[in-house]
Amino acid sequence: MVVPKGEISTRLATMEDSRTVWSWRNESLTRLMSINSEPISWNDHQNWMRLSIKDKNIILLIAQKDLVDIAVVKFETKEKSTKLTVHINLNPTARSKGLSRNILLSALKHAKGIRDYNDYTLSAQIKKINIPSIRLFKSLGFKQTKNSSGLTTYESKLSSIMGCN
Ligand SMILES: CC(C)(COP(=O)(O)OP(=O)(O)OC[C@H]1O[C@@H](n2cnc3c(N)ncnc32)[C@H](O)[C@@H]1OP(=O)(O)O)[C@@H](O)C(=O)NCCC(=O)NCCS
> What's the confidence (pLDDT) of residue 150?
86
Q: Is 13 a member of any domain? A: yes
Mean pLDDT, residues 23-31: 98
Report pLDDT digits (tens) over 125-161.
999 999 999 999 999 999 999 998 889 999 999 988 8
State how far the Cα of 152 lies from the Cα of 68, in Å rounded to an integer.
31
Q: How many angstroms separate the alpha carbon of residue 125 from the centre of ligand 1?
A: 15
C-beta separation of 83 from 119 below 8 A: no
Q: Is the CB–ligand 1 distance for residue 97 below 6 Å? A: yes
Using a cut of 0.85, tell me whether the model's pTM lies above it. Answer: yes
pLDDT tens, position by position, 106-135? 999 999 999 999 899 999 999 999 999 999
2, part of any domain? no
68 is in which domain, residue-wise? 8-160
> How many domains are there within the chain?
1
Query: What integer is the mean pLDDT of 23-44?
Result: 97
Per-residue pLDDT band for 163 (boundaries 50, 70, 90) equals low
How many CB atoms are closer than 10 A to CB 11? 13
CATH number of residue 121's parent domain: 3.40.630.30
Whether residue 95 has its Cβ less than 6 Å from ligand 1: yes
* Pocket of ligand 1 contains residue 9 by CB under 6 Å: no
- Examine residue 1 and state whether it is found in any structural domain, yes or no: no
Is there a domain that residue 115 lies in? yes
In angstroms, the Cα distances linking 33 to 1, 53, 64, 67, 145 are 35, 23, 22, 27, 19
Cα angle: 136, vertex 42, 39; to 5 degrees: 55
Q: Quickly list H helices, the chain.
A: 18-25, 28-33, 42-54, 100-114, 131-139
Residue 71: inside a domain, yes or no? yes
